[in-house]
Every structure is written in C-alpha cells, then in structure tokens.
C-alpha cells in the first residue's frame, strides 16, 4: 500500500511538472516597453540570428500593389544586436496615442514577439498589439468605469436555413434595469466575422468609456457574421479549425441583405429593445459598409441612423439579386423618409476614396443630407476605431 501511495505521488508530481512546463518557457524580457516619454522599445533574444527586424503600423507605411489595388503596407526597421544576443530597437520619436500592432522578422521569417502575450487575429494574420494611452486612445483602454457584458448568442435564420452566431454587447446596468435600449447593428469587413469588431475594433471599451463619460446613450451593440456561408467565426462552429480566408462565398450577392431582418427579429424578441426605426442604427466597415448601405435602403423604415465606414461602394456585375435593383429609386425612398443621421467616413489614402467621393456627388446632386468625416491614412482599423468613436455619440439623441 505504502509503495502504491509513493508511486501515485510521483505520478502526480510528474503530471504537474509536465502541465506546468509552459509556465517556464518564457524569457525574462519586457517587450515592448512603453517608456515615460512614449517612445517604445522592442526587444528580442535571438543569439543565433543574423538579422532581426520589426514591422508594424507604428512605422511609416509604403504603397504596395495588392489584389485590392495599392495599399499602405507597414515599413520595416532593423533591430540592433547586443553582445548578449539581445536585439533592441527604440523608436526615435514618441508614438502618438493609439492601439498598435507589430511582428518581428528574424532572418526573413515573420513571427510574433515571445515576450508579449497580447495577440490579435485579423482574418488569417496574427500579430502582437500594444497601447499607447492618452487622447482618443483613452477610449480603447479598460478604465475604471461601469462595464457592459459581451456575449455570444446563437440564432436561427429562416432566410438562410442556418443556426448562426452573433456577438452582442449590452451596456452596464442592462441586467438590473427594466428599461428598453436602442440597438446599433455593427458590421465587419471582408474576411472578418462576428469577432472582428469586439477584438480589433475595441467596441466594448469604446462603448463603456463613452457611456461613462455621458457622451453616448446606453445602447445594445449587435455584431453579426456577414459571411452567410459561415455559422460562426473560424474555429467556433461545426466547420472545425480551419484557416480563415477572404473571398468567401455569398458575401456581396444579396443573401446577407435579404436575411438581415432575421437578425433584427431575434434581437427584438430576446432583448429589451426600442423596437422601431428611431431605436435602430446600422453601420459597417468596407464590406460591412456595402451591406449597411443596401440593407438601410432596402428596409427604409428599419433604421434611422446609418454609418458607412470606408464603405465598399461598388457594383457587383455578377449579382442578380433584386436587392441591388433600382438603386437610385430605393435611395430616393430612403431619404424621403428623412433618416436622422447618414454618416460617411473615409481616409484620404483609402483605395475606396474615389468610390466614396463619387457616391457623395450623387447624394449632393439629389440634395440628400449626410454628415462627412475625412481622416488621414487608408483602409485600416486605426480609422475604423476612430469612426466608431465619432459615430456612436451621435446616435439616439
């Protein structure tokens, strides 16, 4: 018996040691380190490397040809090797307040920072992130304010004959109050999913902080999956663990727009909502802006607030859905019903700038009122977080 107990103890110790080994695999290095003057130091221990570089959106971008036209791609900069095998780089100037992403490149191999556990996925790319606080980036922090709840809910869509997943933010106090809340439907871009806005867009932090500051009306935010061929985000459905990708089936051919009332009906049935036009807003980035434009004009009595963030205002020549028919006629009906806010935001360097400019000319020609916000840079999350921060305070007033 004594021998069996001894063996059992040894086995438990062995299992414990094995299960804990990941805890001791890290390096005792802080990277990145945000210095008191807001310069940032990156460090990587790579004693056998011949060259180490860092790339990220804190560096000046360069124009690069992509399948979607010329895009701003972050630059590269070399780290300096020390005698101890520790490579370092400190930004020469303080960084402006912002949520930044970055990666290391070691001898041409792109990798994440082993000393930074904060990672984020954008489609199929995984990068590290860090936050330089202050200014508008103060909205992206988790501050000492009342916090809302983020949940994932499954709903059945009769229009798609599928059970699908949504991400939903409810404001602080929702669970304990009996009041009804207005709803913002917030749509992602191509390659994104119902996780995109909550992770990359910092939606919960922005809403928590704006509501706490009295700058935004407490609201529910619904973040659906705009890829109607998916049940949910990659790895979160019966489709299993597969590599995320762009150009998914049935993204901009009418299915999303046609089935969208299923989402609204589910939310109105499951949550205490202001279930009328004045209590609903819809906004989206890129492909989500395309969806927001067409959903809002297809159902002109559904949304009083519309936001187009770097919207893909394009014509899909292969799309035969009646959703896209009689575009200007539907737009005329929508604006005849006087939406309270029609908001357009675009970056000066965005590859969709010309398409948005042409669309504004159409609105101007017809005398349709809208609010325009122009920012620097291009088709990037930095802009979309800013647009959300600017758009939300204008809702439900």
Of the candidates 291, 232, 216, the one whose C-alpha atom is nearest the C-alpha of residue 260 is 291
Contact 140, 206 (CB under 8 A): yes
Contact 234, 131 (CB under 8 A): no
Contact 112, 128 (CB under 8 A): yes
Look at residue 304 and tell me whether its pLDDT is greater than 90: yes
| Helical spans, DSSP H, in the chain | 2-20, 196-199, 203-212, 255-270, 287-298, 327-336, 353-365, 381-391
Look at residue 23 and tell me whether its pLDDT is greater than 50: no
Residue pLDDT, tens place only, 91-133: 999 999 999 999 999 999 999 999 999 999 999 999 999 999 9
Of the candidate CATH numbers 3.40.50.300, 3.20.20.140, 3.40.50.1820, 3.30.1200.10, the domain formed by 144-394 belongs to: 3.40.50.1820
Q: CATH topology for 28-133?
A: Immunoglobulin-like (2.60.40)
Residue pLDDT, tens place only, 244-276: 998 899 999 999 999 999 999 999 999 999 999
Residue pLDDT, tens place only, 53-84: 999 999 988 766 655 556 667 889 999 999 89
Q: Using 50, 70 and 90 to split pLDDT, how confident is the model at 141?
A: very high
Give the mean model confidence (pLDDT) for residues 301-322: 88
Q: Using 50, 70 and 90 to split pLDDT, how confident is the model at 394?
A: very high
User: CB under 8 Å to 244, separation ≥6 — which residues?
Assistant: 121, 123, 124, 191, 193, 233, 234
pTM, 2 dp: 0.91
Q: Where are the domains of the chain?
A: 28-133, 144-394
Look at residue 197 and tell me whether its pLDDT is greater than 50: yes
Of the candidates 111, 132, 292, 121, the one whose C-alpha atom is nearest the C-alpha of residue 200 is 121
């Amino acid at each position: 018996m004594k021998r069996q107990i001894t063996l059992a103890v040894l086995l438990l110790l062995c299992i414990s040691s094995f299960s804990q080994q990941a805890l001791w695999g890290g390096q005792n290095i802080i990277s990145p380190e945000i210095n008191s003057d807001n310069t940032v130091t990156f460090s990587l221990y790579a004693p056998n490397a011949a060259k180490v570089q860092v790339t990220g959106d804190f560096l000046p971008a360069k124009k690069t040809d992509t399948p979607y036209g010329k895009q701003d791609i972050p630059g590269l900069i070399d780290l300096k090797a020390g005698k101890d095998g520790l490579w370092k780089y400190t930004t020469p100037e303080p960084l402006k307040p912002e949520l930044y992403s970055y990666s290391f490149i070691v001898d041409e191999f792109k990798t994440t920072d082993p000393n930074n556990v904060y990672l984020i996925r954008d489609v199929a790319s995984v990068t590290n992130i860090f936050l330089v606080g202050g200014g508008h980036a103060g909205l992206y922090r988790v501050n000492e304010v009342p916090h809302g709840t983020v949940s994932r809910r499954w709903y059945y869509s009769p229009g798609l004959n599928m059970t699908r997943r949504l991400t939903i933010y409810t404001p602080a106090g929702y669970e304990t109050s009996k009041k009804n809340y207005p709803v913002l439907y917030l749509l992602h871009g191509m390659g994104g999913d119902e996780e995109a806005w909550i992770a990359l867009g910092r939606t919960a932090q922005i809403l928590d902080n704006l509501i706490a500051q009295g700058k935004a009306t407490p609201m529910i935010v619904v973040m659906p999956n705009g890829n109607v061929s998916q049940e949910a985000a990659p790895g979160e459905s019966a489709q299993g663990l597969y590599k995320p990708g762009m150009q998914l089936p049935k993204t901009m051919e009418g299915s999303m727009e046609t089935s969208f009332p299923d989402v609204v009906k589910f939310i109105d049935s499951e949550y205490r909502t202001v279930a009328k036009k004045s209590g609903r807003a819809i906004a989206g980035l890129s492909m989500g802006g395309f969806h927001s434009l067409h959903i809002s004009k297809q159902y002109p009595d559904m949304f009083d607030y519309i936001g187009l963030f770097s919207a893909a205002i394009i014509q899909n020549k292969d799309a035969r859905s009646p959703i896209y028919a009689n575009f200007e006629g539907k737009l005329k009906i929508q604006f005849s019903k006087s939406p309270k806010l029609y908001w357009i935001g675009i970056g000066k360097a965005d590859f969709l700038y010309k398409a948005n400019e042409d669309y504004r000319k159409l609105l101007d020609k017809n005398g349709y009122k809208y609010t325009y916000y122009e920012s620097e840079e291009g088709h990037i999350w930095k802009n979309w977080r800013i647009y959300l921060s600017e758009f939300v305070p204008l809702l439900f007033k």
